[in-house]
Structure 1
Amino acid sequence: MRTRIIVCGHGTTSHTGRSAIASLVNAVRRHAGGPEVVDAFFDVQQPSLADVVAETSGPRVIVPLLLHHDVSTAGRLAAVAADDPLVRVAPAMGPDWVLAEIGVRRLIEAGARPSDTIVMVAPEADGPRALADISKAARLLSAVWGGPVHVGVVDGVGTPVEDALDVARAHNQRVVVSMYALASGQGASAIGRLGADVVTAPLLGAGAPDARLVTLALERAEVLSFPGEVGSATR
């Protein structure tokens, strides 16, 4: 029996954000090969993750469309997996080199220059583990960009974004915010209102999703196998 892939992320009220997430799920569906690919949401949108798991059967792997650890969603994922031995949870999408490469692409698209001061901004960090993930993402971005990257957080633990921007402005260069958000939404909108000289688009921009994001999602699904199943989730 083939594994069903459940692609699950935070919902959003943003039409642009919803379209971007739907495009990513559809692209994963087209490239998955044989497994059925369905979408689910932790909040805001339907169907909910709990409903999708309850209405499906057989081996299933949940691919969380998360860029860093999140206490609330981690608890939901653990609870769902604990209730059904045929449900497994893949690693979150980030941090990852792929996201750093796409982040640099967004910087270039936004017109960032080597002389600019870069600040990676995340909408939220709800604890030390989330902050560690975001800090790692910034280090990866720095390595690909080839220059220092500061870190700011809109809400939660870590350096408040206002402080991070103040430090960045002290360099007397243009300040460019690298948006560490998957798609447009309330958190991404807050980042866009920060008053930086330049703000990048989310990792999921307009149009078709970057093929590297699709591959990353499928690789996350491949990580796990189920007893008695031959091959990976995408074969």
Structure 2
Amino acid sequence: MLLAVAHGSRDAVSSAAIRGLIRRVRALRPEVEVQCCFLDRNLPPISEALSQLRGENPILVPLLLSTGYHVRVDIPAAVAAAGLPPSQVARALGPHPLLAEALAARLAETGASPEAPVVLAGAGSSDPTAVADTTRMAHLLARHLGRPVTPAHLSATGPTPHEAVAALRAAGHHDVAVATYLLAPGFFARRAATTEARWTSPPLAAHDAIARLILHRYDEALSFPCWTGGAGYLVRTGVGGSAATGRRWSR
């Protein structure tokens, strides 16, 4: 069983987008039971979902784009509180080439020039691991697009998308594109859309590549029993160990 763990939002449009994404995952793999829960603000909360699934041994797939505090601490803590083994937690979705595929498709939908420099607008985090993941995702997208991509953060760390776009325009790039590196619409997506960029792509949740990535993380979690330590808990990272430390623990 796959239990998708989303962040949660006050914005009803955001939770609706996540639920739409879950429907796509179910359609791609109807033989796998797929449920969804939330870390905050939406129902069901992760604690309730895990309590109801006691004895089912679900694989938890974080619907989060980087390995920040939620992935390293909050989700494993909820798993431990429910009495489940830590091996049930999959990797964060990003960075991954399928995200580059989805980001590029969303940019193409805006009609953005294939020569325009791109700013990758991530949510941002005070966790350096999450910031590093966004930078790695910018490199993957740049390779996919064949042009420069500047990582930017909507909270906690700089540069912001506004600053990154302004810097590119000051350097002589009149037309700049913003790739919105968020799963669902909401507060951060609206903020990303207020830069001086000529084109801004929508969030990613409705793209089939994201549904395929969720199933990939699920399959990966079933296949590779590897974890990294985080605040006393163990979090699966898959082959290669932790992006932050390079260490790996085996079952």
Name the TM-score, length of structure 1 as normaliser: 0.86
How far off its partner does 1:86 sit? 4.4
Distance in 1 (alpha carbons) for counterparts of 2:102 and 2:27: 21
**Alignment match, 1:165:** 165
Distance in 2 (alpha carbons) for counterparts of 1:168 and 1:127: 26
Residues 1:85 and 2:84 are matched in the alignment: yes
**Alignment match, 1:185:** 186
- Superposed, 1:99-118 pairs within 5 Å as 99-118=99-118
- Size of the aligned set, in residue pairs, is 219
Distance in 2 (alpha carbons) for counterparts of 1:185 and 1:192: 11
Distance in 1 (alpha carbons) for counterparts of 2:222 and 2:182: 29
Q: 1:61 aligns with which of 53, 59, 62?
A: 59
How far off its partner does 1:146 sit? 0.7
Distance in 1 (alpha carbons) for counterparts of 2:191 and 2:68: 19
Q: Deviations over 1:42-75 (max 9, x none)?
A: 1111100111001112211101000112214531
Could you say what secondary structure the match of 1:139 adopts?
Answer: helix
> RMSD across aligned C-alpha pairs, in angstroms?
1.8
Distance in 1 (alpha carbons) for counterparts of 2:207 and 2:187: 22
Contact residue 169 and residue 175 of structure 1 kept, 8 A: yes
- Superposed, 1:100-179 pairs within 5 Å as 100-172=100-172, 173-179=174-180
Distance in 1 (alpha carbons) for counterparts of 2:138 and 2:33: 34
Q: Which runs of 5 or more structure 1 residues have no equivalent in the other structure?
A: 227-235
Which residue identity lines up with residue 77 of structure 2 in the other structure?
A
Could you say what secondary structure the match of 2:37 adopts?
Answer: strand
Distance in 1 (alpha carbons) for counterparts of 2:84 and 2:154: 37
Q: Deviations over 1:134-189 (max 9, x none)?
A: 00110111011110011211211242333312211123221211111011011111
Distance in 1 (alpha carbons) for counterparts of 2:10 and 2:158: 26
Which residue identity lines up with residue 24 of structure 1 in the other structure?
L
Contact residue 131 and residue 158 of structure 1 kept, 8 A: no
Contact residue 101 and residue 209 of structure 2 kept, 8 A: no
Which residue identity lines up with residue 122 of structure 1 in the other structure?
G
Q: 1:5 aligns with which of 2, 16, 20?
A: 2
Contact residue 60 and residue 86 of structure 1 kept, 8 A: no
